[in-house]
Chain A
Amino acid sequence: MQLKFNVEDGCLIVEMHGELDHHSAEGVRIKVDNKIEELGVNKLIFDFTGVNFMDSSGIGVIIGRYKKLKDYDGKVAVVNLKPQIKKIFELSGLFKILNEYKTVQEALLSL
């Protein structure tokens, strides 16, 4: 899985490309955590536009980052989930703790 980082208005935007499973989850976790610490941000947007597959390992990654930022009054949002990925989010109750937006711009305005 390839990651591209952008920062806008004190918010870290993680553009993901590829498949998010147990194999790729560890790399994503480490890279995102390092970036959060390096920048000292407490707002995070995961852009799923380039993610074609995710299983429940992805849920762990999102919840883990949510918990981390919650300690700093932070927030997490996700952008542009494919229908299959959305099903997993719904099943896990993830929408109780974060929202999905159509675009990164929309997410930035709401965070």
Chain B
Amino acid sequence: MFKNEMKLEFPSKSVNESFARVVVAAFASQLDPTLEELSDVKTAVSEAVTNAIIHGYENTEGIVTLRCYIEGNKLTIEVEDNGKGIENVELARQPLYTSRPELERSGMGFTVMETFMDSLEVYSEVGKGTKVVMTKTFKSV
């Protein structure tokens, strides 16, 4: 089975949100995804990286680590921060729930990731950080 992987680290600046999603799209393009599949992946990455920046690091400076793995026609994406962590992951994953309503957040981040990817797992420890693992299998291959 064909395998490939990449790792990217960048500071938690909001300008890097577009950088991260373009990098993943470029890496995923070797699987010949459709435009729709590629937009799905870009949107999910954008949500995960935005969460790391706003909630993980609460707009302070930290490092966001992005890892991608390809196995056959399956793409796995990990977005990890060493920020404050999520107290109640189940609650955070509820549609429309946001811990920061004052920021005009919609509370749809995890719901978008779940909808646009095939699977979503969230590992978090308070005071240590959060890791989001998402997979998507490209049908077009």
Contact = CB atoms under 8 A, between A and B. Distances in A.
Interface of A: 19, 21-23, 25, 29, 53, 55-57, 59-61, 63-64, 83-84, 87-88, 91-92
A56 B109 contact: yes
B122 interface: no
A22 B17 contact: yes
A22 B53 contact: yes
Q: What are the 6 A-B residue pairs with the smallest beta carbon separation, nearest first?
A: A59-B106, A23-B14, A60-B104, A56-B108, A84-B39, A55-B46
Contacts, number: 66
A108 to B, nearest CB: 26
A60 B105 contact: yes
Nearest to B100: A60
30 contacts: A21-B18, A21-B46, A21-B50, A22-B17, A22-B54, A53-B18, A53-B39, A53-B43, A55-B46, A56-B105, A56-B106, A56-B108, A56-B111, A57-B50, A57-B105, A59-B108, A60-B104, A60-B105, A60-B106, A61-B104, A84-B36, A84-B39, A87-B115, A87-B116, A88-B43, A91-B108, A91-B111, A91-B115, A92-B106, A92-B108
Interface residues of B, number: 25
B47 A23 contact: no
Contacts of A88: 43, 108, 112
Given A19-B18, A22-B53, A23-B14, A56 B47 contact: yes
B1 interface: no
Question: By CB atoms of chain B within 10 A, which of A29, A57, A88 has the most?
Answer: A57
B40 interface: yes
A57 B115 CA distance: 16
A2 to B, nearest CB: 14
A57 B105 CA distance: 6
A23 B42 CA distance: 15
Nearest to A29: B104
A23 B103 CA distance: 13
Contacts of A63: 104, 106
B43 A84 contact: yes
Contacts of B116: 87
B43 to A, nearest CB: 5
A49 to B, nearest CB: 17
A88 B18 CA distance: 18
